[in-house]
């Protein structure tokens, strides 16, 4: 069985059962484990009609390898993602206040999981990732996101630049994070239909992605290198950027 078909850990399995029970095929729980949260997971899974088995620790390790399982794993039918065709509906449903995160080639599953967690906490409308040259929503991403991978729409797209142009046609203003940009993130109005575009580890935004942004902005860092986004981890920059939008929206 491919490890990508399994999710591991208390938070990841709990979230999968709560948000996407139809795609959870089986739950394996460590026999003899005393953690009350495992008992809660077992009860929740059985209420949804999901098969539950008690197995020894070696069996759990054999299923998920090096993933830290905390005494529970679940077999998942498929990663829950949204279609490109659904983006227009998602933007329309936001009624002029869409908040979209576009990630240009994040490679590290832990970074993507952390970005999804911030996006869910910020109430993001959707997270867009390229289908190629980017990590997809796998077991590690699900675990790191602590359930966010199942609660915020994740939209893998074939051509990121084309999707950006489509969003602009829908009235979404796209801001790309770049260290050399002159405009500060904090000077930009982020209260309407907004797409926040961040690059992957190392190379940042690709050329075509930059060219399709309406404006490039930086995160001011008085103690850094003059505003270079590259000096921040992409998941940290994502959190800073999303919650500046949240702050503005709460304030007015």
Query: Residue positions in the annotated binding site for S-adenosyl-L-methionine?
Result: 199, 219, 232
Cα–Cα separations (whole angstroms), residue 96 to 82, 85, 99, 113, 249: 21, 19, 9, 27, 12
DSSP string across 148-208: GGGTS-EEEES-HHHHHHHHHHTT-EEEEE-TT-SEEGGGS--SSSEEEEEEBTTTBS-HH
> CA angle at residue 154 from 149 to 155, to 5 degrees?
160
Beta bridge partner(s), residue 125: none
Dihedral angle over CA of 223, 106, 182, 247, nearest 10: -70
Cα–Cα distance measured from residue 40 to residue 101, given in angstroms and rounded to the nearest whole number: 33
Q: What is the separation, in whole angstroms, between the first and last Cα of the chain?
A: 51
């Amino acid at each position: 069985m491919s490890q990508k078909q399994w999710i591991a850990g208390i938070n990841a399995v709990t979230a999968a059962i709560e948000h996407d029970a139809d795609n959870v095929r089986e739950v394996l729980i460590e026999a003899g484990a005393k953690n009350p949260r495992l008992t809660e997971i077992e009860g929740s899974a059985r209420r949804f009609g999901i098969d539950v088995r008690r197995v020894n620790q070696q069996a759990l390790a054999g299923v998920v390898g090096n993933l830290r399982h905390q005494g529970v794993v679940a077999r998942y039918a498929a990663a829950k993602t949204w279609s490109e065709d659904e983006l227009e509906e998602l933007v329309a449903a936001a009624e002029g206040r869409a908040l979209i995160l576009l990630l240009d080639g994040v490679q590290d599953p832990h970074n993507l999981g952390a970005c999804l967690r911030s996006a869910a906490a910020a109430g993001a409308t959707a997270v867009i990732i390229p289908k190629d040259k980017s990590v997809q929503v796998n077991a590690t991403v699900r675990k790191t996101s602590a359930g966010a991978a199942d609660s915020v729409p994740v939209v893998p797209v074939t051509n990121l630049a084309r999707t950006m142009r489509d969003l602009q046609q829908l009235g979404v203003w796209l801001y790309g994070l770049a260290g050399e940009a002159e405009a500060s993130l904090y000077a930009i109005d982020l209260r309407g239909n907004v797409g926040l575009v961040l690059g992957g580890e190392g190379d940042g935004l690709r050329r075509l992605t930059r060219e399709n942004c309406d404006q490039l902005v930086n995160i001011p860092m008085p103690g850094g290198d003059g505003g270079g986004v590259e000096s921040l981890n992409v998941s940290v920059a994502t959190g800073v950027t999303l919650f500046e939008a949240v702050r503005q929206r709460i304030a007015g």
